[in-house]
């Protein structure tokens, strides 16, 4: 059934678990997520970025999600728009039937330039007013995502601030968060606590302090009734990096957010955990390995089935680690 983010996250908060929110662009990702959710009996949040709409086309994307709901009627599914850059974009997604939207007012409409606070409040407040009138949930964002190690926002071509960020921008201020939530009435708030988008988050192996966990605790203590969202939450599995590089890829040494640190965040109010890169790495590794080992094979279903398997295993592991399993 199609369900709002608010309904899912209220349940997650009541029972103290987190829900991975996976980006979807194609059939294989959608199947992997649903098969994993079915296998573990987990609620689903799937999200579509502007890039996803450009790749698949909005109607295909919409029907992909509706098809998932039809095939798995017993699994609650939230259809979320990721990183909307204006109230108008959020409005279009609401008209398309999304049950939840993100108004990312931490950046201007270009999705690159950090905005000022009043702009963020204004676009987010307007989006909430419109969305709530339609029974749709809203996620806002306060602070700029950036790696505390590198000071970089991450991905070149995705959503994210340009250039090097300073520490202040990269950590959401608890007092400002309280004011923001009071003024905008968002259902969930994405916070900047040391993560960044993409595969290149950290250059050194994690030592347990990847996330600004103290800051998460402070924010949660200040706004205990607001569901917190962590973007840039891929763990960048080292086994898949090794497979990619073994079979002709060339990805340098890089690290993500350890699953156990995310689990710690979930103990302190994090309810939605955004993951895209991990599924990209797994599917690329699976394709490279399959084609290298089966050089005469040319039926796309053969190697795409391998990607579904690879992504499904990651989804199952996250549903279980975050405590979502058993809560559909």
Active-site residue numbers? 82
Part of the chain binding Na ion (CB under 5 A), chosen from 4-12, 98-106, 108-116, 236-244? 98-106
Q: Which helix (H) or strand (E) holds 275?
A: strand 270-275
Contact status: 197 vs ligand G3H (CB under 6 A): yes
Per DSSP, the three-state class of 172 is coil
Part of the chain binding ligand G3H (CB under 6 A), chosen from 46-54, 70-78, 118-126, 244-252? 46-54
Give the count of alpha carbons within 13 A of 274, CB side only.
27
Per DSSP, the three-state class of 165 is coil
Least Cα distance to 5 among 226, 154, 181 occurs for 226
Among ligand 13P, Zn ion, Na ion, none, partner that 318 touches (CB below 5 to 8 angstroms by kind) = none
Binding site for ligand 13P (CB under 6 A): 23, 82-83, 197-198, 231-234, 274-277
**Least distance CB 294 / Na ion (angstroms):** 37
Part of the chain binding Zn ion (CB under 5 A), chosen from 116-124, 133-141, 146-154, 230-238? 230-238
Enter the tokens of residue 85: 């850059």
Q: Are 141 and 105 in contact (CB under 8 A)?
A: yes
Least Cα distance to 43 among 18, 76, 15 occurs for 76
**Least distance CB 232 / Zn ion (angstroms):** 6
Distances (CA, A) of 29 to 160, 278, 293: 23, 11, 23
Least Cα distance to 161 among 111, 121, 104 occurs for 111
Nearer to ligand 13P, 91 or 274 (CB): 274
Among residues 201, 215, 227, 231, the one that binds Zn ion under rule CB under 5 A = 231
Nearer to ligand 13P, 21 or 328 (CB): 21
Among residues 68, 102, 121, 287, the one that binds Na ion under rule CB under 5 A = 102
Among residues 28, 35, 82, 187, the one that binds Na ion under rule CB under 5 A = 82
The one-character DSSP state at 184 is: H
Part of the chain binding ligand G3H (CB under 6 A), chosen from 48-56, 61-69, 187-195, 307-315? 48-56
CA atoms 44, 50, 53, 58: torsion sign: positive
Least Cα distance to 4 among 109, 66, 77 occurs for 77
The one-character DSSP state at 80 is: E
Contact status: 51 vs ligand G3H (CB under 6 A): yes
Contact status: 272 vs Zn ion (CB under 5 A): no
Contact residues toward Na ion (CB under 5 A) are: 82, 102
Contact residues toward ligand G3H (CB under 6 A) are: 23, 49, 51-52, 82-83, 158-159, 197, 276
């Amino acid at each position: 059934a199609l369900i709002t983010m608010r309904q899912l996250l209220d349940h997650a908060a009541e029972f103290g678990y987190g829900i991975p929110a996976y980006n979807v662009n194609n059939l294989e990702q959608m199947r992997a997520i649903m098969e994993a959710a079915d296998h573990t009996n987990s609620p689903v949040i799937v999200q579509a970025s502007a890039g996803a709409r450009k790749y698949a086309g909005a109607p295909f994307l919409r029907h992909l999600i509706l098809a998932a709901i039809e095939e798995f009627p017993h699994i609650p599914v939230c259809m979320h728009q990721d990183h909307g850059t204006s109230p108008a974009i959020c409005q279009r997604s609401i008209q398309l039937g999304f049950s939840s939207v993100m108004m990312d007012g931490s950046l201007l409409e270009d999705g690159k330039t950090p905005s000022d606070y009043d702009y963020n409040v204004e676009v987010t407040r307007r989006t909430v007013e419109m969305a709530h009138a339609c029974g749709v949930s809203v996620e806002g964002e306060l602070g700029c995502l950036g790696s505390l190690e590198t000071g970089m926002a991450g991905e070149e071509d995705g959503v994210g601030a340009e250039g090097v960020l300073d520490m202040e921008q990269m950590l959401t201020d608890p007092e400002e968060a309280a004011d923001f939530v009071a003024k905008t009435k968002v259902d969930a708030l994405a916070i900047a606590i040391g993560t960044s988008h993409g595969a290149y988050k950290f250059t050194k192996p994690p030592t347990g302090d990847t996330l600004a966990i103290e800051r998460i605790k402070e924010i949660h203590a200040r706004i205990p009734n607001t569901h917190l969202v962590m973007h840039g939450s891929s763990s960048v599995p080292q086994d898949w990096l090794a497979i990619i590089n073994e079979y002709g890829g060339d990805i340098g040494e890089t690290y993500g957010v350890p699953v156990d640190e995310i689990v710690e965040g979930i103990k302190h109010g994090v309810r939605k955990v955004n993951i895209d890169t991990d599924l990209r790495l797994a599917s690329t590794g699976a394709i490279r390995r399959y084609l290298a080992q089966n050089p005469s094979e040319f039926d796309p279903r053969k190697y795409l089935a391998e990607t579904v398997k690879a992504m499904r295993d990651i989804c199952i592991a996250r549903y279980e680690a975050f405590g979502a399993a058993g809560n559909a």
